[in-house]
Amino acid sequence: MCHLNGVCAYVWTYKVKPSERSTFIDAYGPNGVWNKFFSKSSGYIRTDLLSDEEDPNRFCTIDYFKDKNARADLVAANKKEFDEIDQHWEAATIEEQFIGLFGVKSEA
């Protein structure tokens, strides 16, 4: 379980190839392939896609789950599909870094 109220946020940063910027936004945005994949879990809450104001090809994603196990169980149960999506979109990035797993303090 994550600290605070139990909601977990997985934070990633990406440096995207300029030629892949618009497709990356589509894939990682609210109606993208990752949202559709994560939505298979009843513990998935949402994904926020943040864009860097100074570098148009730098992004951050925050994937929210009700608890740590929700994401882990989803990935374990759908490992082949997860790996296929991950490998496909890895080609769109220059750099990808997992920042960490954070507990979320929310008023909701």
User: How far apart are alpha carbons 36 and 27 in whole angstroms?
Assistant: 10
Residue 26 CB neighbour total at 10 angstroms: 11
**Average pLDDT over the chain, rounded to an integer:** 92
Q: Supply the pLDDT for residue 6.
A: 76
Q: Supply the pLDDT for residue 105.
A: 78
User: How far apart are alpha carbons 39 and 68 in whole angstroms?
Assistant: 15
Residue type, 32: G
User: How far apart are alpha carbons 24 and 92 in whole angstroms?
Assistant: 7
Q: Supply the pLDDT for residue 3.
A: 61
Q: Supply the pLDDT for residue 4.
A: 58
Domain boundaries, the chain: 8-103
pTM for this structure? 0.89
8-103: CATH number: 3.30.70.100
Task: pLDDT tens for the chain, 108 residues: list them.
Answer: 666 567 999 999 999 999 999 999 999 998 899 999 999 999 999 999 999 999 999 999 999 999 889 999 999 999 999 999 999 998 899 999 999 999 987 655
